[in-house]
Amino acid sequence: MEYQEKTVYRIFSIRFSGGERIIESLEKLIQEKNIRAGAIFFAGAFSNGNLVSGFRKHSKVPMDFNPMSFSQTQEVIGMGSISWVNDRPKVRLQAGIGKEREVFIGRVEEAGVAGAEAFVLEFSGNSFTS
């Protein structure tokens, strides 16, 4: 196990407008504010998007993820992390997305926002590097 001790430096409170792309918008803010490491917490609704939910059943290929798309408004709650790759911010979001009694959990590849709020917590120092 590897760990780093951090402190919270700044907190950003965000309200997204309908139609914004969540990852694109977050990465733009992170680059603009030069947030080198942090966590994201969000809730609201997505209007459409793509996520990866686990692995394909019986696949012989390692890391063969199961993609999923949705085009109807879904409630969402999730969290994510901030890192940097090749001098560009990289947001990784994990979320529970659902409507009525059907819920999916996975990594958000990108999603359009119907309405959502988020908190970005900036940590001291840098994120893990590979």
Q: What is 8-123's CATH topology?
A: 60s Ribosomal Protein L30; Chain: A; (3.30.1330)
- N- to C-terminal Cα separation, the chain: 14
Segments in the chain below pLDDT 50: none
Contact partners, residue 118, CB within 8 Å, separation at least 6: 13, 14, 16, 26, 40, 41, 42, 43
Cβ contact 113:28 at 8 Å: no
Q: Long-range contact list for 81-87, CB < 8 A, 24+ apart?
A: 81/38, 81/39, 81/40, 81/127, 82/30, 82/35, 82/36, 82/37, 82/38, 82/39, 82/40, 82/120, 82/127, 83/37, 83/127, 83/128, 84/36, 84/126, 84/127
For residue 59, the model assigns a pLDDT of 59
For residue 43, the model assigns a pLDDT of 98
